[in-house]
Amino acid sequence: MKILMVTDKMELGGAETHILTLIRELALSGDDITLISGGGAFADDLQRRGIRVIYSPFDKRDPFSILRCRKTLAEQMRRCDVVHTHTRFSSFLAGAVRGKKTFPPIVTTAHLGFKLFPFGKLAFWGDRTLAVSEDIKQYLRDNYGIESENISLTKNSVDINNYSRERLPKKLIIHTSRIDRGRSRTAFLLCEAAESLLKKYPDWRILIVGDGTLFSSLKRTAKKANSSLGFEGVMLTGARYDIPSILRYGAIFVGVSRSALEGMAAGLPTIISGDEGYGGIATYENYSLLLKTNFCARGLGAATAKRLEADIEKLIKDKKTATELSVFSRKLIERAFTSREMANDARECYRRTKRAPTVCLLGYFGYTNLGDETILREAVRALLAHNISHVNVLSANGTLSKTVRSGTQDFDGIKLYDRFSPSDIKAALDSSDILILCGGNLLQNETSERSLIYYSQIIRYARRRGLRIYILSSGFGDVSGALGRRLLRQSINLSDFCGCRTDYDLEVAKKYCCNSNFMPDFCFLLDEVYSDSAKTQFCWIVSKNRLIHVDEILGISKERGLEPLAILLNYDEDKDICDSLSKNNISYFIPDSFEGFCRAVGKSAFAVSERLHGAIFSIICHTPVYLTADSGKKRALIADSARITGGAAVVLPYTRSDVCEKKEIGVRDSDFNYLISNQRHNINYALSKLFD
């Protein structure tokens, strides 16, 4: 799954450590993670670990920075399956970028309760919210009106592997926190309690780890306490990133939330004390109560220097209890607060939130060409198999052929749009999340410069609207002229994935699109057809270009003792040759579907094809085929077939002499099976990467 994480800053802090741990665990499980943030030490750490990190000034609120953030989000959201935001600002901006669409889904983690500002109730908490405690879930219900079924619970968790079982305990009381307004009350209370506590226990020390806007004030308070004690009883380290190493030397930990969990993971008896309340010593008896507030003690009474001093003194005096709590703390984290549990919570939330994108299909559809109409039918079927439930189709006159209608009659998620109507094109793309160009050599100017301009302009519009762009099972043909080459380069460069059906096309695509792969024609997904009927004829699949003369076909018929049957896959293009066929006593057939084609080919010993899809259809029917090698896509099919089957004569380049010499004799069903299964695997592998 492609997950886009978005937050303001990745410096030291509980929420930031939560995000860091979550990203590491998801990445280890194989998810594709991208982080967007205002930078910071944790972002640098993730980048060193191979996580894709993008800097954008989400930690700033000036108009220029907001516009930069919006642009970055718009660019990255079209490439992901789920957006996971961790602040109100990032969630609001993600919702604004997505607009009225529902894809990609947005998940927002609520790390703490925020004060309602004048427009606070207008805040966007995602399509689904992850709350880190039961009381935050209640807060979201009461203050923002979020329905309970749209809120999932998770826990702040710890990567237990970072905390060694081997401790080197000193007589050291450790507190870690940001020294900011609203988060530093306990640090100041420890300085106040030190004057009395450390006079009783002069061999003990208090270590406060952290930095922030109130650090200078804390430094003065600590200096005053040390002056009263006559020694440095309170020590300040400032910001540190080696917390697990520091905790190895502790005997008691004081803190809240994730910091408290880190203390417990290190095996320290822990006192829950913070700005929002005082929970006392964490024990088995009060564990459930503390868990409801994410170990923040909200609503449990205020922290005071006297309460802190009393609980610390209790742990100093009662070594047996301190030892028991050390074991309890470590086991609690190992059992219920591992990073794997947290990642599973997030993954389940993604699963429940994930929505299938709406796809817009664009190709040479609506022109009665059986090959292209079958591509459309099989593309829709393949998308259905990969959980796509809504498909927009741009076709000539906004119609579907009988081939497509019959093949997708149980699917009511297709909407039709006229490919030549500007308003229809706009409506189709504006209601879609992904534009797919599929089948044929669409990006080419062999037939007309206008064709290449048409497709390239639609791609550019789709990109401006924030759609992902996939080119599937396609080729690029022979593009000539400076304008043609520039349009081709721009179109491929704007695509997010290029699935190419020949090695030549793949070579072209890799120059401009880093995410390119081999992807055969969708028609290889057709159900295989076996026929045991007597072979009394051979098929000639005709094209308007008349690459094979009638006399050649008649000569083959006489030499092989088989009747020829001409098959017209595109009647509108090929109807002009019907009179010529009739004059030469050659029967012709116009199939309206692949199944109709199969009925004709089932009686054929072999096929002679002037069309690429005539050859592919013959392969699916387990009929050897001679294919005219007048284009790169045909030569590629001949070469790929020989390479995959180890030289079996499934597809041969057409010459009259080869046909007359019966070069196709000896081809087995297993050769067809192997070729078709190989091509299907390549198609489904690409689709699974894109949609599963």
Q: Is residue 673 part of a domain?
A: yes
Residues 107 and 173 in one domain: no
- Mean pLDDT over residues 88-106, rounded? 89
User: Where does a domain end: 129, 153, 177?
Assistant: 153
* 382 within some domain: yes
Shared domain check, 203 and 119: no
**Which of 153, 174, 192 is the C-terminal boundary of a domain?**
153
Q: What is the mean pLDDT of residues 48-72?
A: 92
**Better-predicted residue by pLDDT, 456 or 338:** 456
Q: Are 178 and 50 part of one and the same domain?
A: no
The alpha-helical segments, DSSP class H, found in 318-448 are 319-336, 339-353, 370-385, 402-407, 422-430
CA dist 124 and 133 (Å) reads: 19
Does residue 627 share a domain with residue 593? yes
Please count the structural domains in the chain.
4
Look over the chain and give the mean of its residue pLDDT values, rounded to a whole number: 88
- C-alpha 673/C-alpha 685 separation (Å) is 18
pLDDT tens for 561-586 read 999 999 998 877 777 788 888 888 89
Confidence (pLDDT) at 254: 95
Q: Are residues 108 and 169 in the same domain?
A: no
Q: Do 320 and 391 have their domain in common?
A: no
- CATH value at residue 370: 3.40.50.11720
Q: Is the pLDDT of residue 145 over 90?
A: no
pLDDT for 411: 67
Burial 490-524 (b: 16+ CB within 10 A, else e): ebbebbbbbbbbbeebbebbeebbeebebbbbbbb
What is the per-residue pLDDT for 117? 52
Residue 463, domain member (yes or no): yes
Average pLDDT over residues 31-58: 91
Q: Both 376 and 492 in a single domain?
A: yes
Choice between 399 and 169, residue whose per-residue pLDDT is larger:
169
- Digit-coded pLDDT (tens) for 454-489: 999 999 999 888 889 999 998 887 788 888 889 989
Q: Are residues 204 and 64 both part of a single domain?
A: no
Are 477 and 560 in the same domain?
Answer: no
Domain-ending residue, one of 462, 496, 525: 525
Q: Are residues 221 and 296 in the same domain?
A: yes
| 674-685 mean pLDDT | 94
Looking at the predicted structure, is the pLDDT value of residue 285 above 60? Answer: yes
**Per-residue pLDDT reduced to its tens digit, 381-397:** 899 888 888 899 998 87
Do 70 and 185 lie in one domain? The reply is no
Task: Give me the pLDDT at residue 403, please.
Answer: 64
Residue 653 lies in a domain: yes
User: Could you count the other beta carbons within 10 Å of the beta carbon of residue 370?
Assistant: 25
**Residues in Cβ contact with 87 at an 8 Å cutoff, skipping those fewer than 6 apart:** 6, 7, 8, 58
Helices (H), 122-184: 134-144
- Judgement on whether residues 512 and 469 belong to the same structural domain of the protein: yes
Given a cut of 80, whether residue 401 has pLDDT beyond it is no
Q: What is the model's pTM? A: 0.74
Q: What confidence tier does 122 reach under pLDDT thresholds 50, 70, 90?
A: low
pLDDT above 90 (res 510): no
Residue 9 has pLDDT above 80, yes or no: yes
- pLDDT for 135 beyond 90: no
User: Is the pLDDT at 91 greater than 80, yes or no?
Assistant: yes
pLDDT at 93 over 80: yes
Q: Which of 261, 246, 254, 241 is nearest to 157 (CA)?
A: 261
Q: What is the pLDDT of residue 153?
A: 86
Confidence label for 185 from pLDDT (cuts 50, 70 and 90) = very high
Interval 253-262: pLDDT, tens: 999 988 998 9
| Residue 345 within a domain | no
Give CA–CA dist 506/503, Å, rounded. 5
Q: What is the mean pLDDT of residues 60-80?
A: 91
In a domain, residue 351? The reply is no
Weakest-pLDDT range from 216-225, 409-418, 510-519: 409-418
DSSP letter for each residue of 635-668: HHHHHHHHHHHTS-TTEEE--HHHHHTTTTTT--
- The answer as to whether 421 is a domain residue is yes
pLDDT band at 292 (very low <50, low <70, confident <90, very high): confident
Would residue 352 count as lying in a domain? no
Min mean pLDDT across 32-46, 121-135, 349-363 is at 121-135
For residue 402, what are the domain limits?
A: 359-525
**Residue 647: which CATH number?**
3.40.50.2000
In the block, residue with structure tokens 């098959």:
567
Single-letter residue type at 357: P
User: Averaged over 540-558, what is the pLDDT?
Assistant: 90
